[in-house]
Amino acid sequence: MRTKSYILILLMVIVQMSCARLGLRRGPVIGPNPGETWRALHLLNYNDDKELEELAQDIPILAERGINLLVLEIDYNFQFQSHAELRRGSNPVSKDGARKFARICREQDIRLVIEFQSLGHQSWAKETFPLLTKYPHLDLTPGAFPNNENIYCREWDVTNPEVYTIVFALMDELIDAFETDGIHVGMDEVFLLGNEQSPSTKGKDTAQLFAKAVNDLYNHLVKKRGVEMFMWGDRLIDANKIDYGEWEAALNGTHPAIDNIPKDIIICDWHYELRETYPSIPMFLEKGFRVLPVSWRNTRASHELIKYSMEQENPRMLGHLFSTWSRMRNITEYEPMIEGLKILK
């Protein structure tokens, strides 16, 4: 028995060394540790090395609190080399800064997943983000909605292969710099697919378009790069059957895409307000997905979502993701997280 164990360990070492030589990563992981509940935190607005260094000081405390997975949204706030023109800000995160931060997370046994918002969220208020500023022909609704008026956020053209030639290069840099084995691709709150102002998608099936976008990302990230893929789940929920409204679920026809995307994608199912039940959670589980429910600033709502989720007693129920959606002065004392971790532990 001991000989078999030594052989298994030796084979694992050989595989890891071979992957390192070839520049490959190991396949998707099961969790922070096999069988361990995922206790995750989503953060954003740490957009340069100094801000990452400040966050790094909180990592040991977060680990002590019980956090074992961090989803850090970077988007365009990185010193990209493949497309330097797409850097956002005057001094975005460097490769060296990313490596240092990743090392600190590893030292504290916190798995680091990087988020790059895909398809939607390509603008905020009047600011259009770098991809569609530098390459306006990649806009899903080119020339429409001046100053981003009368829309939520701009979206990129899912039918244009040039989008992915560029975006995959950016994601590859983030994977390598942060030494991550997981990428969160966003994909929430998409409203412009099939819009009258979209020459490439007007009148087309929005579910097919959305599934294409998901699958294109999956093929590169999971099949080619060997990392695990996370995404928000709202566009896969039928708002006509589950009464969440048009933000938390889809009224624009994207929901049938749920049956045309790979089941090993991790669905981050967000619900921020207090509800009696959260029927999308068992729905995703029954479809075969692993699910990581997401709460926000309402402590009581977070409690109820965690309790409902854990009552499912399903091995594909991973744990919980606490979101913040703003840069917090003292993230280690974030009340919904502190109280929610008591239940998860």
Strands 123-124 and 127-128 turn out to be antiparallel
For 2, counting Cβ atoms within 10 Å of its Cβ (0-12 exposed, 13-18 middle, 19+ buried), the class is exposed
pLDDT band at residue 233 under the 50/70/90 scheme: very high
Q: What is the mean pLDDT of residues 214-223?
A: 98
pLDDT surpassing 70 at residue 20 = no
pLDDT band at residue 345 under the 50/70/90 scheme: confident
Strands 294-295 and 290-291 turn out to be unpaired
Is 19 inside a domain boundary? no
Q: Which residues of 119-150 are buried (b: 16+ CB within 10 A; e: fewer)?
A: bbbbbeeeebbbbbbebeebbbbeebbeebee
- pLDDT, position 25: 42
- pLDDT, position 32: 62
Is 249 inside a domain boundary? yes
Higher pLDDT, 280 or 19: 280
Is 15 inside a domain boundary? no
pLDDT surpassing 80 at residue 192 = yes
What single-letter amino acid sits at 156?
A: W
pLDDT surpassing 90 at residue 108 = yes
Whole-model pTM: value is 0.90
- pLDDT, position 139: 98
Q: What is the mean pLDDT of residues 248-263?
A: 97
Q: What percent of the chain has pLDDT over 90?
A: 88
Residue 96 to residue 285: CA distance in whole angstroms:
39
Put residue 118 in one of left, alpha, beta given phi > 0 → left and psi -120 to 50 → alpha: beta
- pLDDT, position 26: 42
pLDDT band at residue 327 under the 50/70/90 scheme: confident
Retrieve residue 249's tokens.
């679920």
Question: Average per-residue pLDDT in the chain?
Answer: 91
Whichever domain contains 121, its CATH number is 3.20.20.80
Is 89 inside a domain boundary? yes
pLDDT in tens, 73-93: 999 999 999 999 999 999 999
Per-residue DSSP letters for 93-140?
A: B-HHHHHHHHHHHHHTT-EEEEEEEESS--EETTEEPHHHHH-GGGBS
Higher pLDDT, 17 or 338: 338
Retrieve residue 290's tokens.
């692993």
Is 188 inside a domain boundary? yes
CA 177 to chain CA mean position, Å: 17
Is 2 inside a domain boundary? no
Retrieve residue 172's tokens.
């590859």
What single-letter amino acid sits at 18?
A: S
- pLDDT, position 343: 94
Retrieve residue 276's tokens.
């009696």
- pLDDT, position 248: 96
pLDDT surpassing 60 at residue 316 = yes
Residue 267 to residue 184: CA distance in whole angstroms:
10
Domain hosting residue 199, numbered range: 39-344
Is 219 inside a domain boundary? yes
The candidate with the shortest Cα–Cα distance to 233, out of 282, 297, 299, 172, is 282
Per-residue DSSP letters for 179-225?
A: T-SEEEEE--S---TT-TT-TTTTTS-HHHHHHHHHHHHHIIIIIIT
Count of alpha carbons within 13 Å of 243, Cβ hemisphere only? 3
Rg (CA), the chain: 20
Structural domain total, the chain: 1
Q: What is the mean pLDDT of residues 205-233?
A: 98
pLDDT band at residue 222 under the 50/70/90 scheme: very high
pLDDT surpassing 80 at residue 4 = no
Three-state SS string over 42-103 comes to EECCCCCHHHHHHHHHHHHHHHHHCCCEEEEECCCCECCCCCHHHCCCCCCECHHHHHHHHH
- pLDDT, position 154: 98
CA distances to 122, 139, 226, 243, 292 from 247, in Å: 17, 22, 31, 11, 18
3-state secondary structure of 275: coil
Q: What percent of the chain has pLDDT over 70?
A: 91
Q: Which residues of 180-195 are buried (b: 16+ CB within 10 A; e: fewer)?
A: bbbbbbbbbbbbbbbb
Is 30 inside a domain boundary? no
Residue 185 to residue 188: CA distance in whole angstroms:
9
